[in-house]
Structure 1
Amino acid sequence: MADAQMSGDLGVGAGAVGSALGFVGAGAALGAIRQENDQLGQQISSGQLKMNPDAANKAAQVYEKKADEVERLSLRASRLGRVQGLGDYSSAQELAGKFAQKASNGTNGAADLLKQLSDELRRKADLFRTAAKDYVTTDEQIGEDMQRGSQA
């Protein structure tokens, strides 16, 4: 499940966040997703992009489902930081500390990056829903304008 390829424009499998790209690469990929969401938001707010409500809502549901999956992975990754049974030697304590850092360090640990990805997936879902609402609003406005024009 962790290695399943995520759909669409993510370009990053959930399992690849910490392995194939490394944490630095995963952070860069996350930045690209964030930037893409910013551009999408700008297009929607400027009126350049409106989407068919059915298609937009279906896409939003897919992104919500993926966000749930990634969030579950984030929770699992955060548990990796609590390694026990390595012993009392300083080298064992140091190793346990390294596991904790890789799992979660507040910004670019595995759990942290996965949580940020989940947030961006939810943000994209919200953007699609906004585009759907804008489409409906525009459609209703056109209908009202046409009705007024036919009455004049």
Structure 2
Amino acid sequence: MAIGGDAAAQLWNAASSGQLTMEPDAAREVAQSYLRFAGMCDGWVKDAEVLRTIHGFGSLKSAQELQDGFAEKAARAKETLGQMATAARSMADGYLQAAGILSEADQLNASALGNLPGQV
């Protein structure tokens, strides 16, 4: 399973079955933290994609191998960060489910993304 997927699934199951309940304000606060983190991961995914395509290492075989190695690391970072963003969004949904306010997920996500550094 992807990074964080097990924890998110366990949280969702506990919230859906009523084993975990939360006050709405607390759930909103926790969910917004996860959603902000997911938004930051999305930005890092874009950065990793840029790093994957960096050129200019030279034409020597060793330089090309170094370039290929960095490209592979960037590709793995992009994949990992994407999984982390997905898990964070799932965790946010789980907490909102625990408070019975899952319908607020889109609104909270928009709010969290608007509060990221560098966002207007």
Query: TM-score under structure 2 normalisation?
Result: 0.75
In structure 1, what is the equivalent of residue 7 of structure 2? 36
Q: Which amino acid aligns with 2:47?
A: R
SS at match of 1:133: coil
Q: Alignment partner for residue 30 of structure 2, among 59, 64, 68?
A: 59
1:80 & 1:103 partners in 2: Cα distance?
6
Aligned-pair CA distance for 1:76:
0.9
What stretches of structure 2 of length at least 5 have no aligned partner?
102-120
- How far the C-alpha of 1:100 sits from its partner, in A, is 0.9
- 2:89 matched to 1:118? no
- By relative contact order (CA 8 Å, sep 6+), the higher-ranking structure is 2
Structure 2: distance between partners of 1:38 and 1:127: 8
Q: Which runs of 5+ in 1 are unaligned?
A: 1-26, 135-152
How well do the aligned residues superpose, as a CA RMSD in angstroms?
Answer: 1.8
Equivalent residue for 1:81, pick from 33, 48, 52: 52
Q: CA deviation at 1:125?
A: 0.8
Aligned length: 101
CA deviation map 1:6-39 (0-9, x unaligned): xxxxxxxxxxxxxxxxxxxxx9xx74x3222121
1:131 corresponds to 2:98: yes
Residue 6 of structure 1 aligns with which residue?
Answer: none
The residue type equivalent to 2:79 in the other structure is: D
Answer yes or no: is 1:48 the counterpart of 2:19: yes
Structure 1 stretches of at least 4 aligned residues deviating more than 3 Å after TM superposition: none
1:99 paired residue among 70, 78, 98: 70
Identity percentage of aligned residues: 37
Q: 1:44 deviation in Å?
A: 1.2
Residue 125 of structure 1 aligns to which amino acid in structure 2? A
Measure the CA separation in 1 of the matches of 2:49 and 2:77.
8
- Offset at residue 83 of structure 1 (A): 2.0
